Copies of this chain bind each other. A is one copy, B any other.
Amino acid sequence: MNIIELIGIVAGILTTVSFLPQVIKTWRYRSAKDLSLTMFICFCLGVFLWLIYGIYVSSKPIIVANFVTFILAGTILYFKIKYD
């Protein structure tokens, strides 16, 4: 693996797991007032389309990263609807 692939993998991991702290914070404080519903609806839709795209082009990194992101961002969207 060369440095460029490593940068791509680290980038993918960071942009995926970064949603976990938001899930934990929103769940712990049961508060999502400051989160934008429009953002998470658009983002979840976009990530879902990335998932479809990844399946079509058979790219495991795109599938795995966007599946995890969809679960995390979808959880935040659920909390936003539930706690607002």
Report copies per complex. Answer: 2
Q: How many residues of A contact B (CB 8 A)?
A: 40
Q: A53-B7, A56-B4 are in contact. Are A36 and B25 (CB under 8 A)?
A: yes
Encoded as 1 (CB less than 8 Å from any B CB) or 0, chain A from 48 to 81 comes to 0110110011000000000000000000000000
Among B7, B33, B46, point to the contact of A14 (Cβ < 8 A): B46
Given A11-B49, A25-B39, 17 other A-B contacts at CB below 8 A?
A7-B49, A7-B52, A11-B53, A14-B46, A15-B47, A16-B46, A17-B42, A18-B46, A19-B43, A20-B39, A21-B42, A26-B34, A31-B33, A31-B34, A32-B34, A33-B33, A34-B34
